[in-house]
Every structure is written in structure tokens, then in C-alpha cells.
Amino acid sequence: MTAVDLMNTYNPLPLSFVRGEGASLWDADGKHYLDALGGVAVTSVGHCHPSVVEAIRDQAGKLLHTSNHFAIEWQHRLAAKLTTLSGLDAVFFNNSGAEANETALKLARLTAWYRGIERPRIVVMEGAFHGRTLATLAASDGPGMRLGFSAYDEDFIRVPFGDLGALQAVAKRHGADVVAVLLEPVQGEGGVRPAPAGYLRAVRALCDRQGWLMMLDEVQTGLGRTGHWFAFAEEGAVPDVLTLAKGLGNGIPIGACLARGRTARLLTPGSHGSTFGGNPLACRVACAVLEVIETQQLLANAQRQGAWMLTTLQARLAGYSGVREVRGKGLMIGIELTRAAGNLTRAAAERGLLLNVTRGTVIRLLPALTLSDAQAARIVEHLLEILQSLHA
């Protein structure tokens, strides 16, 4: 492989893996790694789960793709499951979280069009990340990723995450032009920052009073990551629009945008589409993933393992001069350092632990929901050793 065969969009470690099982990966030399990143919250039921492997194998031998010009039975099965779990009414399937969020933004725009709002605005959060298309990037926050891509900024009003007063001020000043609020229940790329207790419920109430759509980006938090099927369930703040991806396909690309009520009926033939979205393979695999989460009681495991890891790390790192805060929900944990993490990911990989750093100073842990007691303990011990070594 030469330096010019790939565009320079990533800065990968000099590691390549040839095999995976559960929360484990192996390189070509046979070295074992404990995966605490999970493909960035993707391999939620672990690498090569037998049920997922069998679904891929069987479906690949039957039918991969027909296009959405024909009915796809596995789409209907998956949509029925997702709407039952979420309480929303209808689903549009695509290939990624960014595409799911694009669908959400189009639903907001259509809502504004039907209401006769000439210059619709969508309220988004400081520290947010919704994708890397032009529109989802404009809805996101972060000078590095947005450098050179400023289109559509005028469509959005940005407020501090978790600040209900700021939202109320927007309602007073721009209420007639606002059509929706878009936010993540836990900001992942933004540094694993959970919304304050009661915030989602308060946003839901404000949206109801103002006639705004409440749109939740659960691309990273959905499908068990926080110990619930959806992070909004903890407060019962059911959104009007919900986006999913990442863990839905366990590595097979699939995204979903769900909506309820009139919003679920806005899209009509020709108003939106996807060539590959919702193909038989992706939808069958997603059905297998949901079944694994359910039958193996992985929501409870994510709550239990996440709570143990969070409290243990908080206790062991209390008063540690290099750590500002340890926070998280379920198996979504962030450790904010007091200075840039530097080569921490490389140092961790050398010790056989895979993780990443977001926003420059926040160690992010997103292991498989199948994590065992022993694996959780090893992640914590390895991480403590790495932090102590770097501090020294």
C-alpha cells in the first residue's frame, strides 16, 4: 500500500486486524487486543457474533439487492420492530447516520414548507456532531471539521447544550421561524457529555408548547448503548423524529430515520430516496442484531457493566491531577483529561487496548454490549496503568 492510494482523511494507527470475536481483535502476528472502541459504537453485539454471521451467510446466498422499486420483506420486519420499540410510526432506511440526519433535516424543511415558514430555522447544540455531509456538518459544532465547509449555516441557531434558558430565549426571539430542535441525548464526538437530568423532558415540553419538532440524534446512543433501547426512554421524552445507525447493523452499513404523527406522512414518492438503503442484507442483519440484544439481555448488561466501570474509574481517578472528570451513560464512558491526550491511543494499543480520544482531551470508551466482567475489569486496569505511565 502506497501513501497516495487513499485520500488523507484519517490518521490511522499502524495496525491492521485479521480476526475478531466478541470484544477481541487479533492482528496478522497473532497479537490480541481488547476492543474498547467497538468500531466507534458499531459492533454492539461484538465481532463476528454467530447469529449475525449466520444471517449474513444465509442472506448472501439468497438475495442481496433489488432496489426500493419493489417490496422488501425484511424492511417491513425491521420497521415493525423499530416502531414497536420506539413508539414512533414509520421508518425511512438509508446507509449511515449522516444520511439519517439528512432525512430528519428534510422532514423539518418539509414541515416548515407546509406551515408557510419562509426562513425556517433549526435549533442545534454547541458541541454537537451530526455527520459530514454539508447540511449535517453545518448542524454540527467544531472548527476543525467545519473548516472550509460553511454552507447552510444560516439555517441553524446554535445554543449551549443542556441550557434550557437558552432554548427559552430562542423561543421568545425566533419562535415563529423555528421549526425543530435537533440534539443528541449524549454528545459522543462532543466529549461523551450526557444531557442534564430532566433536560430532554423539558425540551419535549417546550417543543409541544411552541409547535416545534423534537428531533433526537441517537446514532451513537441508540439500541442499547446507554443501557436502554433508546436514551430518551430514561425520561420518557418521545421525539417526533429519531435517527439511528452505527450499532443497528453491527458493521453492515444501515441507517434509519423514524418519525411519528403527521411528520411520518410528509415524504411522498419522489421526495426522498436511497439506492442501497434498506436492502435485504442490511435489514436482515439488523433484525438479527436486535434479536441478540433482546435474547441475551444486553440492555441490562450494558447498564451493569457501564455502572461498574463508571463508578470504579471515578473512584480510582478521584483527585488524580491529570483528570478533570469521568462521565457517561451505560457503556458510553468519557474521561476528560486536563491536557491534550497526545499519543495515548498509540500507548494503549501497544498494551493491547483499543480506544480513541475525541475533542483532543476526552478518552472515549464504547465497548461491545456483550462485555464480560473480566473484560470490563481489564479495560479499567489497562487504562489506569496507561494514565499513570503517561503522567509519570
Catalytic residue ranges: 129, 217, 246
Neighbours of 104 (CB within 10 A): 31
Return d(Cα 159, Cα 169) in angstroms, integer: 10
Rounded to an integer, what distance in angstroms lies between the CA atom of residue 290 and that of residue 247? 10
For the CA atoms of 347, 309, 325, 354, the dihedral, rounded to the nearest 10 degrees, stands at 20
E strand or H helix at 82: helix 73-86
Q: Are 233 and 374 spatial neighbours (Cβ–Cβ below 8 Å)?
A: no
Q: Sheet of 156-159: strands edge to edge? A: 90-94, 255-259, 241-244, 213-217, 178-183, 121-125, 156-159
Inter-residue contact 34 to 352 (CB < 8 Å): yes
Residue 51 C-alpha cell reads as: 447469529
**What is the C-alpha separation between 139 and 141, in angstroms, rounded?**
7
The grid cell for 298 is 444486553
Residue 173, CA distances (Å) to 170, 208, 214, 232 in order:
5, 17, 19, 27
32, 378 contact by CB (below 8 A): no
- What phi, psi does 365 have (nearest 5°)? -115, 125
Residue with cell 426500493: 68
DSSP per-residue string spanning 124-187: EETT----SSHHHHHHS--HHHHTT--TTGGGEEEE-TT-HHHHHHHHHHHTTTEEEEEE-SEE
Largest Cα separation within the chain, whole Å, is 62
